[in-house]
Structure 1
Amino acid sequence: MSLSLLCSNTPEGRRRKDIRYLVYDLGKFDEPTQKLLRIAADCLSNSSSTSTTSDNEDDGGCEDTGSRGKLFQHKSPVPKMGRQTYKMWKASLELSMGLFSRANLLDKPKTLHFWPLENFPDAVTTNFRVPGFDLIEFLVHFLQTYFPGLDVRLENLHDINTDDSNLVSRYHKKTKKKQFLVSDLYSQLHSLTGTLKRDFILGWTWTDLYPTEELNFVLGEASFVHRCAVLSFGRYEPLSYKVNEDLETVHGIDGDVEEDEASSVRVDGDLLWKLLRVATHETSHLFGLNHCVFFECSMNESKSISQALSQPFFLCPICLRKLQRFLKFDVKERYKGLFKVCRTLQEFYPSPGMERTCQWLERCMTFLNTENGS
């Protein structure tokens, strides 16, 4: 039996194999970042995978951060179906681009156009307390921080209600509120707005969205093929929908912003946390990231509003590895920037979700800045 085979059957060898399987080659990263990304292999420990990891190896340095527990909590067990490793993600991008144009997506600058698609009342957008921003400007600023290396451009209003576009819509049978069919929106937005096909779009509506006739609503949805995502303020407008999602409250019958609705909307920390969660999740889908089945992660699939909003704001090591390759940012600098903008938001619009995020970012930066990452 060869020495290499013997080595691959040791705990250390199996862990190296798992790391390569999940996040591939990490040689270009500094040592603390490598150690953070190597935590990916923890998800295959005690899982249904055929490989195991070493519990006493120091690559799991984030596993014990004192009484506050792990930085990354893996699924147990990790399902075999639905996995998207780094190499699977990269292969899907290359396949979608074709043999001769793959470099255009992975190795050239990327631009995201943030399009407001309807008029938002001043009570929502301009009465915003973070200095130097209105609400929409802050969302763009946050996206630029969450996705460093991405050129995020705030575009002028493009009101889809005045277009001769015949966008598919309906009135919800219980709320009697207008909803746009989200797939019809994201398939047309490049042509409606005149955006270059190679660029990405994130559209934002006041009106609610729905995915199919059989389903009530969707917070947002992205199409990797169309390079377009759309999210809606509709689920946060308090006169139309109850927090418990029972959809029994019925108000207004048209799709316009009514005066009483606009005056009733209160932009608070919880609402902002929800908007940022959905916006970053859907934008990540634009870059080819599938739903994550490995860890508790911002890219987990959700079946309800409560489930979506209970998920963490951060990416697991496997999803972080994909995003870093796509945008080529410095991992440590990204966390520093995120902590700064999250802490600022928490100061002016406190929420439990953002407070947990700030605490997590502090712990992660401590790990990355500690000698040898442990």
Structure 2
Amino acid sequence: MKRFVLFLLLLVCSCNSKKSDYFDSIAENDIKLFPPKPGDWLYSRKEKGQTFEQFSKSKHVIPTKENNIIYLKPIGEFDSLQIRQIELVRQYLEIFFQLETKVQKNASNAIISKEARRIGTEKQEQFLAGFILDSVLKKERPQNGIALMALTEKDLYPKPEWTFVFGLASYRDKIGVSSIYRLQDKSLKGKDFNLCLERLLKICSHEIGHMFGLHHCIDADCVMNGTNSLSETDEHSLRLCSICQRKLNSGFKYDNLKRLKELEKYFKENHLTDGLALMEKDLEEIKK
């Protein structure tokens, strides 16, 4: 009898250790952040971060049978390459969060009122990001939608005193908007296509990550790091660090290895070499 009880205890311990093996393994690839330099997000912001325990105790959205789809809403006049990027973002988010992701019907720029438009410092038209959240997205989030992200080809600004913003989100309402305008260099051909795509993947997964309860990460190089500029966005990783992955998986309960292999395949097929290298390193650690 004692041997049987001991066997059960060893079996339980073995099962519990296996659950943490994935995160413990990939933690070997977490890279500590360098001390922030002037201009960096953390240089002027003393953020406290968010432990796994704090995340667990917080109120955050968890997919249900009724609410389990991420929606993307294009607003504007997109060319063929931009349309291709939106589809690639859809594919990526579906893998990244392991949730079905759909693109809604494209909306015209005419839905943005004159009061929510201005001409920026570069003579470009800009839309007030808050207007898109409050007057467009709040009304259009589907009943089965767990998150709704608008994508615009016009530049955005958050308030009159700011020159621009890459994106804005209401984490309480699970809605957000991001702009492609500043993400593309010169054109979307060749290397510029992949550069813009990688930036878009980072920004969209970052903002939707916030909607799902993830705070800015200060533990490691991670897609949930805060950024002040496009150059800082480029410096940070596409990858969720092991702690942030543990947080996300705690409520979503997806297969970590399946997600990792799908990300590896996505990066390989779309010639995103940095992302591919990161996924290959994680897979190597798991095999050890």
- TM-score (ref. length: structure 1): 0.64
Q: 8 Å contact 1:190–1:196 — kept in the other structure?
A: no
1:157 to 102, 106, 112: 106
**Structure 2 counterpart of 1:84:** 50
- Paired AA for residue 139 in structure 1: V
- SS in structure 2 opposite 1:112? strand
- SS in structure 1 opposite 2:110? coil
**Structure 2 counterpart of 1:98:** none
Change (3 A) 1:327 1:194: closer
Mapping 1:1-374, distance limit 5 Å: 31=18, 34-38=20-24, 71-75=29-33, 81-93=47-59, 105-106=61-62, 108-109=64-65, 110-125=68-83, 134-148=84-98, 150-159=99-108, 161-163=109-111, 168-172=116-120, 174-193=121-140, 195-196=142-143, 199-238=146-185, 265-266=188-189, 268-346=193-271, 354-370=272-288
- How far did residue 339 of structure 1 move? 0.1
Deviation track 1:208-241 (CA, whole Å, cap 9, x = no partner) reads 11122222212122221121111111103556xx
Deviation track 1:28-83 (CA, whole Å, cap 9, x = no partner) reads 7662x613424xxxxxxxxxxxxxxxxxxxxxx667xxxxxx51113478x98522
- Aligned Cα RMSD in Å? 2.8
- How far did residue 326 of structure 1 move? 3.0
Q: 8 Å contact 1:186–1:226 — kept in the other structure?
A: no
- Paired AA for residue 243 in structure 2: I
- How far did residue 107 of structure 1 move? 5.3
- SS in structure 2 opposite 1:143? helix
- How far did residue 308 of structure 1 move? 1.1
- Paired AA for residue 108 in structure 1: T
Distance across 2 between alignment mates of 1:274 and 1:164: 25
- SS in structure 2 opposite 1:218? coil
Change (3 A) 1:330 1:265: closer
User: Structure 2, unaligned stretches of length 5 or more?
Assistant: 1-12, 36-41
Deviation track 1:330-364 (CA, whole Å, cap 9, x = no partner) reads 11111000000011000xxxxxxx31221121111
User: Structure 1, unaligned stretches of length 5 or more?
Assistant: 1-25, 39-60, 64-69, 95-104, 126-133, 240-263, 347-353
- SS in structure 1 opposite 2:270? helix
Change (3 A) 1:164 1:72: closer
Change (3 A) 1:85 1:123: closer
Work out the number of aligned pairs and report it: 264
